[in-house]
Amino acid sequence: MLLLQTSGQKISQCSNLQQSCVSKIQIAELLARVREGNQSPQDLNVLQSRTIVPDAANYPNSAQHLFKTNSQVETHNISVYEQSTEQKYLIRSTDSVVGAISKDMASYIRNIIPSDSRKTAQLPSTLLIAVGCRYEISAKVNVSDGLANGAGGIIKHIQLTADNLTASGIVWMLFDDNNVGARTRANSRSLYKSHIDRTWKLILPLSRQLQIERSHSAQVLRKQFPLRQSAAKTIHRSQGDTIDQVVVDFTKTSSRKEPHIHYVGLSRVRTLEGLFILNLCEQKIHISNNVRQETAQLQTSRRMPLSLYFPQLHASQTMFNILFLNVRSFHKHIDAVRRLQIKHNTSK
């Protein structure tokens, strides 16, 4: 009986794996056509089948949201914060003017600090932070430990030490990648009390010196948690992400067409089942003419023959090989690459 049950579990696992592979292949082939502007009516029908409305019963509220503009992103992130019923704070930065200047001048300098965090080393003057919401690292903290710009996860606990809600204490975060912050966690074992899960990583306030305008006689030392809300991102900033679930909105924001915005937004997700579209706006799918010309040249006149000899490539007409090359250590592992042979029978 146990043997039959185990076999059934294995069959079920294989079936699920096969379905996952089919879904990944399907979206990969669809995206390849969208990328070149060759999407078919069937492709558009498939994408339309993935559209959803915000009040749908199966709407994935916790999924990563992607929008075309910063204003849409900010609106969504504020809405997520306001709807949160968990522990949440509005944390102010601590700004200290450094230099031998009068109090009036120091006050003036504080008042002209830019409100745009892109001009303040990605450390905002105020930070909306809530437990259970998605955030990401906004500045370089410890790159070798993975604590770099864009590392994302969920806030699990907020442990402030100042009564005036300024940047102090610890924010505990569960990162999507468990390797992020592993070294920092190992070096901070004494801070892990009984109520702190061992998978959480600590985020401490970061201090950065800011130059305000062109003043060299006085600068500002800002202290703030290096975090930003990431329940929503712009489609452009999501480039490089690979996500299990994503809600993407292509709502028309201007009369002009934005080249490749659909491809970038749609290609963030692993499978079709994980893709949800608020507004497809398929009439706005657009490919740059320069990209069309470059692609055509790469596929014809500039296509180069394989410079390395792989005997197995010519071994059989009913087999094909897929090679994945880690370019960074290509020379070190060239012998292993030569021996690599993944075959798939293409005969009917």
DSSP track, 176-233: SSTTTTHHHHHTTGGG--TTS-TT-EEE--EEEEE--TT-SS-EEEEEE--EEE-SEE
Could you give the count of Cα atoms lying within 13 Å of 186 in the half-sphere of its Cβ?
A: 7
Section 238-246 average pLDDT? 90
Amino acid at residue number 22? V
Least confident segment among 62-66, 109-113, 217-221, 283-287: 217-221
Q: Express each pLDDT in 146-168 by its tens digit.
A: 999 999 999 999 999 988 899 99
Q: How far apart are CA 208 and CA 205, in angstroms?
A: 10
Please report, rounded to a whole number, the percentage of residues in the chain having pLDDT higher than 90.
Answer: 55
Rounded Cα distance, 34 and 28, in Å = 10
Q: What is the pLDDT of residue 21?
A: 61
Q: Indicate the pTM of the whole model.
A: 0.75
Q: Average the pLDDT over each of 8-17, 46-55, 56-65, 102-111 and give the range with the smallest value.
A: 8-17
Q: What's the CA angle centered on 214, arms 208 and 217, to 5 degrees?
A: 70
pLDDT value of residue 318: 64
Average pLDDT over residues 238-264: 88
